[in-house]
Amino acid sequence: MEETILRTEYSEVMEQSYIDYAMSVIVARALPDVRDGLKPVQRRTLYDMSELKIRPDGPYRKCARIVGDTMGKYHPHGDSSIYDALVVMAQDFKKGLPMVDGHGNFGSIEGDSAAAMRYTEARLAKVTQEAFLADLDKDVVDFMPNFDETEKEPVVLPVKIPNILINGAEGIAVGMATSIPPHNVGEVIDGLKAYMQDPTLSTRQLMKYVKGPDFPTGGIVCNKDDLKEIYETGVGKIKLRGKVDVEKGKNGHVNIVISEIPYTMIGTGISKFLMDVAALAETKKTNDIVDITNQSGKEGIRIVIECKRDTDTEQFINMLYKKTKLEDTFGVNMLAVASGRPETLSLDQIFKHCADFQFEVATRKYTNLLAKEQEKREVEEGLIKACNLIDLIIEILRGSTDRAMAKKCLVEGITDGIRFKSKESKLMAQQLMFTERQANAILEMRLYKLIGLEINALLKEHEETVANIYRYEDILSSRSSMTQVLIEELDGIKKAYGQKRKTEITNAEEAVYVEKKAEEIDVYFMMDRFGYARLIDVPTYERNKETADEESKFLFKLKSQAKVCIFTASGQMHTIKVEDVPLGKFRDKGVPIDNISNYKSEEDVIIYACSQSEVNLYRLIFVTKNSFCKIVDGGEFDVSKRTVAATKLNDGDEVISVNALNDATSVVLKSKDGYFLRFAVDEIPTMKKTAAGVKGMNLSAKDEIDEVFYIQNAVESIYEYGERQIELQKLKLNHRAAKGTKVRG
């Protein structure tokens, strides 16, 4: 066969491929369908559990079995995504109406993950069986082939309630994301009932029923007035607060008790909140905190912050709202798959899609039920007629040679080949006109059906069948009748599964917190050779002066509201807020510099540390191992950035000395080969921090500067070099860029 080469534009192929991929992720993975409020993985998991008959009234089954079966039949995208979906559907702190009944460790509100699927068990929740899967056997939704066309799966589940609002949804697709908050079951059902009765209701009218989100964690929605716009556009931000109470504590202390948290704090957010509160005390943002305890348990959330007796509780609570996640925002984007495409929906549009779906499902359901009842009536009428002609029927059966002959007589009145006792019987047989279905039922009828009580039961059953037919025909012919039936079903679900609202909806005032400026005091900054920093107050330093001077690599006095500048061998300057350094006892270990700055100890070496005020007051001298030196005005380092380049370095070079020049008049450079060069500070030019500097000593090949000394007039400076003691101030005063003097140790 001759090959044909199809030429096409590469960009067009990529564009089409990306669009196909994006739509696959959007529709088939990440976004829920507005009709049942389920993502494909959730829908497939619930359907598989139904097929496996893991019902609410049956035993639990291993989650590993459920996950494996779902992955093998319907969702070939990895077991972790299926198990994660299964776990979330069982968590009552995430779902307003959990769809799975979990047995075992399914995680906690504090962020503990679920146990492995081989340890946990699950079964369908009762509400799922009754409101999500009940009518699947009545051909109420379409089915489609699974990924390998060996099974059939439902396109959508016949969910009887607006699950997309009740349980909410979260998902990230390609170029879009959905975030729908959970709502109260009873309110949503009331809203759907109202919309079914009057489809002209607007979003604002529907909000008489749906007051706002109802999060499983409770809390307070603070921006009630914004909800109208959010529900009309499908997009917005909900401001959430935790519920805080004030109680009397021990020893006259005041307890700030958090009993409900914002929905966004679920998981690691609780431990982060506790750390943030502790940080407020450590950084002296507040001095009111005595203790923090997390007393949460099966009864619910209970976080207790013990405060001093004279604490301004209102100010303290406002500080928690401002400085922690106790007040947070929930971003709303009510995006869902509607009519096969992603669409941002308003509240009334969601109710429209859900109501239309309910009517569609009900129409298919009662059409199928009507057809079955009509078939049943046909059979029952045939059997009743046969009972009245039972003697003739028996005569036909006894006179026929085979089933086909008897059936032909019952349906068409053909009596050829049948032996009758009399001509009258034959004439009566020729007038029979049973239907095919009736004839089959007569031929399969058992003799005990001729008992009087059985005949009476058949007549009563026929009456019920006729009544059902009239009822189904009325439902299908009248929208009001169908609406009434759907409302009765919704009332039953509400009665069985309705809950009291947990989240309070209000217009709360903006939390006003005026941060008190911490009292500025004199402290000593201490950093040891391992890079641990701490602060001590002046009296503590004076009591331990000798030990502090001996153990500290850097030690200097500064104000508690100042900044510390750290210069490194790579030519970087890192700044640290003094308030980030813990103030403690003399023997406290302190905090690693890495934790409070951008400095990384494994990548760089600290050469010099001083206060920001010292940098601003003096000029700084830089010396590198390749003997480049310069002086930089301290004002160049007065920057807001946490990290800046303090000097320019040539390849292979590094800073070995940084110092503030105050009274120094000369500089002594010492090389590894034992050369000493002393020259006046004035010979070093003042340059920008972006400059590399000028040569300080003329070095021989492979030699480099390893030590720098700063000499003051009339101040003795002794350096022990080998077995010799060198008086540095008596070295010959030379000029910069000279070779220097060789000194033997």
Active site residues: 119
Which residues contact residue 279 at a Cβ distance below 8 angstroms, ignoring those fewer than 6 apart? 285
Distance CA 172, CA 25 (A): 9
DSSP codes joined into one string, 304-320: EEEE-TT--HHHHHHHH
CB contact at 8 A, 521 and 560: yes
Nearest 5°: phi and psi at 207? -70, -5
Which DSSP symbol is given to 265? G
Copy the structure tokens of residue 279.
């940080």
SS3 at position 594 = helix
Backbone torsions φ then ψ of 655, nearest 5 degrees: -80, 135
Burial class (CB in 10 A: 0-12, 13-18, 19+), 473: middle
Residue for token pair 């564009």: 15
Write phi, then psi, for 43 (nearest 5 degrees): -60, -45
Question: Quick check: 254 and 312 in contact, CB under 8 A?
Answer: no
User: Per DSSP, what are the bridge partners of residue 292?
Assistant: 305
One-letter-per-residue 3-state SS of 214-225? CCCCCCEECEHH
Spatial contact of 27 and 176, defined as CB atoms under 8 Å apart: no
Q: Give residue 700's identity as a one-letter amino acid code.
A: S
- Which contiguous run of DSSP H or E holds residue 485? helix 479-497
Query: Alpha helices of 140-288 — where are they, by DSSP H?
Result: 163-166, 185-197, 203-206, 227-233, 268-282
Adjacent-strand bridge partners of 237: 331
The amino acid sitting at 564 is V
Among residues 223, 219, 218, which one has the least CA distance to residue 238? Answer: 223
Interatomic CA distance for residues 661 and 26, integer angstroms? 64
Q: How far from chain centre, in Å, is Cα 717?
A: 64
Question: Taking the mean position of all CA atoms in its chain, how far away is CA 200?
Answer: 36
For β-strands 327-333 and 733-734, DSSP reports them as unpaired
The side-by-side arrangement of strands in the sheet containing 606-611 is: 606-611, 563-568, 572-577, 643-645
Query: How far, in Å, CA of 25 to CA of 173, rounded?
Result: 6
Contact 718, 725 (CB under 8 A): yes
Dihedral over Cα of 565, 568, 570, 574: its sign: negative
- Asked whether the CA dihedral 519, 520, 526, 532 is positive or negative, the reply is positive
- Edge-to-edge strands of the sheet including 243-248? 243-248, 254-260, 303-307, 289-294
Asked if residues 134 and 123 have their Cβ atoms less than 8 Å apart, the reply is no
CA distance 610 to 561: 14
SS3 645: strand
Q: How far apart are CA 98 and CA 445, in angstroms?
A: 48
Residue with tokens 């405060």: 307
Q: What's the order of all strands across the beta sheet hosting 694-695? A: 655-661, 619-624, 628-633, 694-695
- Identity of the amino acid at 510: E
Reduced to 3 states (helix: H, G, I; strand: E, B; else coil), residue 402 is coil
Residue 507 β-bridge partners: 223
